[in-house]
Amino acid sequence: QQQVKQSPQSLIVQKGGISIINCAYENTAFDYFPWYQQFPGKGPALLIAIRPDVSEKKEGRFTISFNKSAKQFSLHIMDSQPGDSATYFCAASIRTSGSRLTFGEGTQLTVNP
Amino acid sequence: EAQVTQNPRYLITVTGKKLTVTCSQNMNHEYMSWYRQDPGLGLRQIYYSMNVEVTDKGDVPEGYKVSRKEKRNFPLILESPSPNQTSLYFCASSFSWNGETQYFGPGTRLLVL
């Protein structure tokens, strides 16, 4: 049972475009929602994260939008660049339960030059 | 350099032959964890450890063992590997048990014939 569902599975965007990846979760006890970025041959690395007390967080070209009532959150990559081509994972955890991350299925993003 | 290291990076073995994948971190992190990554399933937690001598099962612990005798090391043991354990394995660590940023190792690709 996948508690965090991620879509789309793959995404192709032109350079300069906006990439949008969506996630939905089931467990209302989740209180931390990070996004991880993974390049081929590497381990995932934290990209940006949000807590449910805010609806949006922006760091450079990366923005998380969070909708608590809908139990959904999304990653927006503005002005997408070929260097952004990677696999992106959303995740969720309950911080008091010991950093146990539940990951989405992953989205393979390709940004064409 | 602060990092999580895993060895070996690649391993081919046969069914039933015991193996150990080592994981070491040099950041004095309390929390360590093992994940497996499979296509379409994202990353799933196998075992985690909140501190030395404290370990617990994650979401997919069957067929795996771990130990945490030292703070820096967290080996993953497959006593009798089976083909369904063919996967990409990641070790991760974070500063504390409720630490939000997890740092991942480079991964170990395992093939069980």
> Letter for the amino acid at B52?
V
What single-letter amino acid sits at A109?
Answer: L
DSSP state of A28: T
Taking 90 as the threshold, does the pLDDT of residue A96 lie above it? Answer: no
B105 contacts in chain A (CB < 8 Å): 43
Phi, then psi, of A35 in degrees rounded to 5 = -115, 135
Q: What is the pLDDT of residues A12-52, one digit of tens each?
A: 999 999 999 999 999 999 989 999 999 999 999 999 999 98
Contact A6 B42 (CB under 8 A): yes
How far, in Å, CA of B92 to CA of B101, rounded? 10
Alpha-carbon distance A104 to nearest alpha carbon in chain B (angstroms): 6
Structure tokens at A14: 């032109």
Among A95, A101, A105, A107, most B C-beta atoms within 10 A, so best to mutate, is A101
The whole-angstrom separation of Cα A22 and Cα A72 is: 7
pLDDT at A98 over 80: no
Q: What residues of A are in the B interface, CB distance below 8 Å?
A: 2, 4, 6, 9, 32, 34, 36, 41-46, 49, 89, 95-96, 98-106
Q: Which residues contact B89 (CB under 8 A, 6 or more apart)?
A: B6, B21, B34, B35, B36, B37, B46, B76, B107, B108, B109, B110
Cα B9 vs. chain centroid, distance in angstroms?
Answer: 12
Q: How many beta carbons lie within 10 A of that of residue B95, not counting itself?
A: 16
Sequence-separated (6 or more) residues with CB below 8 Å from residue A66: A33, A50, A52, A54, A55, A56, A57, A72, A73
**pLDDT truncated to tens, each residue of chain B (113 aa)?**
889 999 999 999 999 999 999 999 999 999 999 999 999 899 999 999 989 999 999 999 999 999 999 999 999 999 999 999 999 999 999 987 666 788 999 999 999 99
